[in-house]
Amino acid sequence: MKKSDVVSEILKDRLYVSPKNKIGEAYAPTNIALCKYWGKRNQELNLPVTSSLSISLADKGAAVSIKVNSVDQVILNNVILTPDSGFSQRLFKYIDLFRIENSIFFQINIQSNIPIAAGLASSACGFASVIKALNHLYAWELSNRELSILARLGSGSASRSIVHGFVEWHVGKRDDGMDSYSELIEKEWPELCIGLCILNRDEKKISSREAMQRTIETGSLYPAWPAKVAVDLSLLRQAITSNDFELLGRTSESNAMTMHATMLSAWPAISYCLPETLVTMQKVWKLRDEGLSLYFTQDAGPNLKLLFLKKDLHFVVEQFENVEVVNPFR
């Protein structure tokens, strides 16, 4: 099964019609997985080996506007990209799923307030905002479930960036992935804070796609990963339902450490940690030993995301220089 088959299946006779609106606009928040997505069972459709659970980051994300243009063009944060840039190519390969080639061209204007490719899920909010903007442009009136499936075709974690709040991406069983979509967990937690510790803004040397694949193929500890995810998903749901912050924090941190551990067991080993990552982890552990309710999670990059409650906001900001605090339920 190909991506285009999934698109046809969802859009049916709405595919290849003309845009209904002059401009399609949308915003999608980036998201941070508390239980990680690590490993694909289907590379073409970005179908995952396990379910995952994330929190959307409110105003950290990407705003997109799409309009018909004489040529294909991407403007990223006010800079026109060359057509042969990797980002532009990847984006229009995705757009191609929704148009007959040479029939129509687009200008895509993206305003993103997160560093690209630094393990901050820039592609998650990127593809999610693009599919939402296309949905607006064409007035397809897709459901969040359908948007989530289509966003996944661009990037797995994009399926979790359609809505705000806690989100669970269901692993699904079907070969066509129609049951592998993300769903809002109906629970707000206004005290919850996320602190972005951006330690390095460079592009990562190895993409998550490549790291994931190498881990599945050579990671000797990867076989134990799905069982870990099953346990953590259940603990996280319980933590969210019962507002148990210690359980949420502990489970999230342990899940992230374990994902990185599966990568260290690959050959060649994959390490996204920089020395400053290690120093920051050790600082979190020390503060926690001293009684602070502070945890972290880490994605495919050197940056850490702190988890804490609003009551400790002042202290955390004092302790961590340059931390950028997001309140997902503001």
* Residue entry with tokens 């661009």: 154
Instruction: Note whether 250 binds its own copies by CB under 8 A.
Output: yes
| Nearer CB in complex with its own copies: 68/261 | 261
DSSP per-residue string spanning 73-134 = EEEETTEEPPTTSHHHHHHHHHHGGGS-TTT-EEEEEEEE-S-TTSSS-HHHHHHHHHHHHH
Rounded distance between C-alpha atoms, residue 229 and residue 124, angstroms: 20
- Which of 261, 313, 317, 325 is close enough to bind its own copies by CB under 8 A? 261
Residue closer to its own copies (CB basis): 83 or 223 = 223
290 within 8 A of 260, measured Cβ to Cβ: no
Residue 187 neighbours by CB under 8 Å, 6+ apart: 165, 166, 240, 241
Give the span between the Cα atoms of 163 and 245, in whole angstroms: 22
Decide: is 225 part of the binding site for its own copies (CB under 8 A). yes
Is residue 234 within the footprint of its own copies (CB under 8 A)?
no
- What are the φ and ψ backbone dihedral angles of 162, each rounded to 5 degrees? -75, -35
Using the rule CB under 8 A, which residue among 144, 258, 319, 327 binds its own copies? Answer: 258
Among 93, 242, 264, 286, binds its own copies (CB under 8 A): 264
From candidates 1, 68, 221, 325, binder to its own copies by CB under 8 A: 221
Cα-flanking dihedrals φ and ψ of residue 22, to 5°? -70, -35
Of residues 281-300, those binding its own copies (CB under 8 A): 281-282, 285
- One residue of 273, 292, 313, 317 binding its own copies per CB under 8 A: 273
Binding of its own copies by 23 (CB under 8 A)? no
Nearest approach, Cβ of residue 325 and its own copies (Å)? 24
Residue 48 main-chain phi, psi, to 5 deg? -85, 160
Q: How far is residue 114's CA from residue 120's CA, in Å, rounded to a whole number?
A: 7
Find the shortest distance in angstroms from Cβ 224 to its own copies: 4
One-letter amino acid for residue 7 of the chain: V
Nearer to its own copies, 4 or 234 (CB): 234
User: 293: exposed, middle or buried (C-beta count within 10 Å: 0-12, 13-18, 19+)?
Assistant: middle
**Does the footprint of its own copies cover residue 231 (CB under 8 A)?**
yes
Name residues whose C-beta falls within 8 Å of residue 311's C-beta, 6 or more positions apart in sequence: 191
Q: What angle do CA 260, 173, 6 make, to 5 degrees?
A: 100
Distance between CA atoms of residues 95 and 90, nearest Å: 9
Question: Quick one: which segment of 43-51, 172-180, 223-231, 310-318 binds its own copies (CB under 8 A)?
Answer: 223-231
Point out which span in 13-21, 30-38, 99-107, 252-260 binds its own copies (CB under 8 A): 252-260
To its own copies, the closest distance from the beta carbon of 258 in angstroms equals 4
Given the rule CB under 8 A, which of 57-65, 145-153, 187-195, 278-286 is the region that contacts its own copies? 278-286
Q: Of 44, 82, 234, 267, which lies in the binding site for its own copies, with binding defined by CB under 8 A?
A: 267
Per CB under 8 A, the list member of 260, 299, 301, 328 interacting with its own copies is 260
Residues that bind its own copies (CB under 8 A): 220-225, 227-228, 231, 250, 253-254, 257-258, 260-265, 267-269, 271, 273-276, 278-279, 281-282, 285
